[in-house]
Amino acid sequence: MNSSLRASSALITTALLTTLLLSACSDDDGVGGLTGPDGGPALAAVNAGDRHTCALTPQGRAWCWGSGFTGQIGGGEFIASSPPVHVVGAIAFETIDAGLVNSCGVTSAGQAYCWGNGSFGELGRGMTESPQAAPVSVSGGHRFERLSVGSNFVCGVTTSRRGLCWGNNTQGQLGNGSTQNALAPSAVAGDIAFVSIAAGWAAACGLDVDGVTWCWGAGRITPEKVEDAPKFEYLARDRYHICGLDQEGAAWCWGGNNEGQLGDGTTTNSAVPVRVRGDHRFVMLAAGQMHTCGLTSEGDAWCWGDNFVGQRGDGTRNGPSEPTMVVAPGPFVALAAGRVHTCGVQRDGAVYCWGDNGHLAQLGSDVFDPDCEALHCQPTPVRVPDPM
């Protein structure tokens, strides 16, 4: 839901390749299982939605866990699940993304599949429909590089750099010049050559091939250039704020800041990007509802903003609005932030999650800190267990 990768980011590519090499595993069907060499999960990527989480093995097998009442975990049933369940079908995905009540993936051939809610046409099959608990193919024959799933809408970038969006459009979040829902992929206006798009609550932002940031939605029906923004390599956005990495790895954020999610040491909203405090150099960012996390090339995870349920992972449920380090058992190679939970992949392929567990097990198990029993939350990383 929350991140958008620029294709030229060599540091992030290196991190993902490291994951692929160190978490290699195989099984008889050639798609790959979740268990790694040490008996734990071996994953190449993780993505966090509102109250569910999805991940991929190096072979492209998809697993999801947490809330599944609209089918968004793709296990064939409309239930919440812990531990992870295998997404139905022998589809090998290259990328996966989780949103509010949907998930989507793209294969190596560029075919898009989505599952979960369909009432706004966000499954992309040319119709509104009942929820689907297994992947269905997005119509139109488009070849995608990646997708980003927002709140009842989806955006993606094709191999020809076109931006396409579909689903809910009441706030102009599809960027096609209207506020009518689109039941199949619809072109983002402006003839912009995108390298990535990040979908949020009712808005989206994209990076073009020159590193210029464009945003739409929240009442803006076509893309508008973000003024006073550096050239970014990477974008992450969620409900209230957007963050980007410049070419030096410095993080900048803008939008709502009532919980300090912009990381500038204040709680003042900003319409233009402000620099995140500290001399950190990040290789990726992840944005939750009101918290943000960044990953350094050394594998250290830093988070800032809201920490009411421990989503910053520093062992507390309060603290400053500037970055604090996640209390992790080892270095991470990837991060993902959901509404109020966060997950990371370590170099051995193990996945850890922290923050809200909401009785829906988006952390992968029914775990919580004893001091946080009333809220069912976990302020330090816990390992995602093997699937049943």
Dig out the tokens for 83 from the structure.
């531990």
Structure confidence at residue 349 (pLDDT): 87
Would you say residue 376 lies in a domain? Answer: yes
β-strand pairing of 270-275 with 251-255: antiparallel
Would you say residue 190 lies in a domain? Answer: yes
Do the Cβ atoms of 120 and 181 come closer than 8 Å? Answer: yes
CA 61 to chain centre: 17
Encode pLDDT of 46-75 as tens digits: 999 999 999 999 899 999 999 999 999 999
Structure confidence at residue 375 (pLDDT): 83
Those residues with Cβ within 8 angstroms of residue 210's Cβ, 6 or more apart along the chain or in another chain: 231
- Smallest CA-to-CA distance from 49 within 150, 157, 142 is with 150
CA distances from 120 to 68, 102, 321 (A): 18, 11, 36
Dig out the tokens for 234 from the structure.
């990477």
Number of other CB atoms surrounding residue 216 within 10 Å: 28
Encode pLDDT of 109-131 as tens digits: 999 999 999 999 999 999 999 99
pLDDT over threshold 50, residue 290: yes
Would you say residue 388 lies in a domain? Answer: no
Do the Cβ atoms of 52 and 362 come closer than 8 Å? Answer: yes
CATH number of the domain enclosing 335: 2.130.10.30
Would you say residue 370 lies in a domain? Answer: yes
| Secondary element (H or E) of residue 266 | none
Enclosing domain of residue 52: 3-383
In one-letter notation, the amino acid at residue 32 is G
Residue located via tokens 């150099």: 281
Those residues with Cβ within 8 angstroms of residue 300's Cβ, 6 or more apart along the chain or in another chain: 325, 326, 328, 331, 332
Those residues with Cβ within 8 angstroms of residue 123's Cβ, 6 or more apart along the chain or in another chain: 102, 114, 115, 116, 117, 129, 132, 136, 138
Query: For residues 350 and 52, what is the distance between their CA atoms, to the nearest angstrom?
Result: 18
Dig out the tokens for 34 from the structure.
């979740």
Would you say residue 331 lies in a domain? Answer: yes
In one-letter notation, the amino acid at residue 354 is W
Do the Cβ atoms of 159 and 152 come closer than 8 Å? Answer: no
Encode pLDDT of 126-164 as tens digits: 999 999 999 999 999 999 999 999 999 999 999 999 999
Among 80-89, 146-155, 368-377, the minimum mean pLDDT is found in: 368-377
pLDDT over threshold 90, residue 373: no
Would you say residue 192 lies in a domain? Answer: yes
Compute the C-alpha angle 121/127/133, nearest 5°: 65
Structure confidence at residue 44 (pLDDT): 77
pLDDT over threshold 70, residue 282: yes
How many folded domains does the chain comprise?
1
Number of other CB atoms surrounding residue 29 within 10 Å: 10
Structure confidence at residue 246 (pLDDT): 97
Q: How many helices (H) and strands (E) does the chain have?
A: 1, 29
Compute the C-alpha angle 215/147/274, nearest 5°: 35
Q: What is the mean pLDDT of the chain?
A: 88
Q: Which burial class, exposed, middle or buried, applies to 300 when counting CB atoms under 10 A from its CB (0-12, 13-18, 19+)?
A: middle
Would you say residue 358 lies in a domain? Answer: yes
Query: For residues 195 and 205, what is the distance between their CA atoms, to the nearest angstrom?
Result: 11
Q: Compute φ and ψ for 97, nearest 5 degrees.
A: -145, 140
pTM of the full structure: 0.90
| Coil vs helix vs strand at 21 | helix
Dig out the tokens for 33 from the structure.
């299982």
Query: For residues 261 and 236, what is the distance between their CA atoms, to the nearest angstrom?
Result: 12
Encode pLDDT of 245-276 as tens digits: 999 999 999 999 999 999 999 999 999 999 99
Query: For residues 242 and 292, what is the distance between their CA atoms, to the nearest angstrom?
Result: 9
